[in-house]
Chain A
Amino acid sequence: MDLGEKQNPNPTVFAPRVASRKEKDLSLLDEDDEIGARDEIDAAEIFELIRHVNDPEHPLTLEQLQVATLDQIEVDDGSSAVDVRFTPTIPHCSMATLIGLCIRVKLLRSLPPRFKVRVSISPGTHASEHAVNKQLNDKERVAAALENAHLIGVVNKCIAQSDR
């Protein structure tokens, strides 16, 4: 049953382990990019995009909570495939779909459209892993969610500060 109280009132907070990249690497969609030029993307750049996304419940970033880490990201630039896994702080976290949605929206808005992004829960870290993954990777459900003003408001807040 879904609880309105915080799922994990006392999460463990971790210090950043990866140094932030320089400013220029962040702007993957710079206007002065040559038309047709293909930006090569690697896992570090993906991590840079999502590390400062806020957790929906806490004023903490996904990086601080180690929900997102560099080693949970795989990129195959050749086939334009991005695979992001994340680890909810507790196995019953009902926020998992919302966190996943924030990651998905952030990447959707930042990456060139050629990329096929898969966002999923790190295997074995959530009780409803399969159901959450299915929902996160159903583009129709995601599209409908993004038309929900309340929801997109929350997502926008979570990713508002992520371009640091």
Chain B
Amino acid sequence: MAKLSLLATLEGHEERAWFVAWSPDGKLLASCSSDKTVRIWGRKAGGGDSQWLCVAVIEEGASRTVRSCAWSPCGKFLAVVSFDGTTSIWEKVAKGVMLSFELLASLEGHENEVKSVAWSTDGAHVATCGRDKSVWIWEAMDDGDYECVTVLHGHTQDVKMVAWHPSEPMLFSASYDNTIKIWAEDGDDWYCAETLEGHTSSVWSIALEGGGERLASASDDCTVLIWKRFEDAQPSGGRWRRVCKLAGYHARTVYSVAWHARQPLLATGAGDDAIRIFRESEGSSARSDAPSFDLEVTVASAHAGDVNCVAWAVTAAAATAAAAAAAAPHVLLASAGDDCLVKVWQYDAS
């Protein structure tokens, strides 16, 4: 039997924890909260994966809820977005065992709440989205500053989350308008290449599979949908089609979905306080036109309140899927909840 066991409970946030993000090397965990701070957590020496220490707190900067954050692919920078309309870029500076973060740039332009931020795989672009229905793409300049590359209008309601394709210049955005939009580059500007319709309520979270051929989306309609890119375009010109629906599992809004970078695992966090792990069924894969996923683990009261975010740790050591599978029989998952807590879990396959 596969299982998810609690390794550590990280206490420190004074209000709802909204989001967690692992650093690319898996050594640090950043968490965001309505208490206007970002906390950075690291492992205690000799404590393995079960003893964690708050190694830094980013306290200044945001005047309202810190909604989300993202590590740059190099791990040196952390982008932080807040309901106060700002996106700030922080540089990690080591100070002995402790870390400090120095403000490098402030990206202004959103009219109000910024809800999500994502760093492109090559580190050159940062995408943000928010209440003003827009998606912004920023480019890192040589001098450490950021310039607005484009402002994308198209969603008719708040944009909840943005996510980059892992290897192509393609951005995904999920919205309160129930749709997911795919933005692609056209010359030096971006345009909406596709709109994915299928959810019947707000789409809260999206996650690309490691290979970039499939997308998982989590919604207020209590379902998770799996979308796949097909070779042939539909009459509408669209190439992404819904291939699987995970319904009947979540009793309330699914706030977060995370696709493991190298293993066929989906984790979800939901308003029913539970964390669930789904594993792709035997014989099903990215090549399947009708893939299926089996619910493997349910941790019913993972948090004493809504689970707002789940995130798989990436272990940089295992460069290939095969190596990862061989070297790491267990993997780590972090979660953030309305109970102000951040938790670290260990997943063990059967």
Contacts and interface: CB of A to CB of B under 8 A. Distances in A.
A and B touch in the complex (CB under 8 A): yes
Interface residues of B, number: 23
B242 interface: no
B269 interface: no
Interface in B295-328: 304-306
B252 A147 contact: no
B201 A134 contact: yes
Contact of A143 (B34, B158, B304): B34
A74 to B, nearest CB: 16
B128 interface: no
A113 B339 contact: yes
Contacts of B131: 144
B179 interface: no
A114 B304 contact: yes
A138 interface: yes
Nearest to B204: A140
Given A134-B202, A138-B202, A144 B113 contact: yes
A116 B250 CA distance: 14
A137 B305 CA distance: 15
Contacts of A138: 176, 202, 220
B209 interface: no
A39 to B, nearest CB: 15
B160 interface: yes
A116 B273 CA distance: 10
A138 B115 CA distance: 13
A106 to B, nearest CB: 18
Contacts of A109: none
Interface in B80-124: 83, 112-113, 115
A113 B303 CA distance: 12
Given A113-B305, A134-B202, A143 B176 contact: no
A24 interface: no
B42 interface: no
Interface string A130-147: 000010011111011001
Contacts of B176: 134, 138
Interface in A122-164: 134, 137-141, 143-144, 147
Contacts of B338: 113
B187 to A, nearest CB: 34
B306 to A, nearest CB: 7
A145 to B, nearest CB: 10
Nearest to B255: A139
B306 A139 contact: yes
A139 B254 CA distance: 12
B201 A140 contact: no
Contacts of B83: 143-144, 147
A139 B202 CA distance: 12
A125 to B, nearest CB: 21
Interface in B233-279: 252, 271
26 contacts: A113-B304, A113-B338, A113-B339, A114-B304, A114-B305, A116-B252, A134-B176, A134-B201, A134-B202, A134-B220, A137-B220, A138-B176, A138-B202, A138-B220, A140-B115, A140-B158, A140-B160, A143-B16, A143-B34, A143-B65, A144-B64, A144-B65, A144-B112, A144-B113, A147-B65, A147-B83
Interface of A: 113-114, 116, 134, 137-141, 143-144, 147
Given A143-B16, A143-B34, A147-B64, 12 more contacts: A113-B338, A113-B339, A114-B305, A116-B252, A134-B176, A138-B202, A138-B220, A140-B158, A140-B160, A141-B158, A143-B65, A144-B112
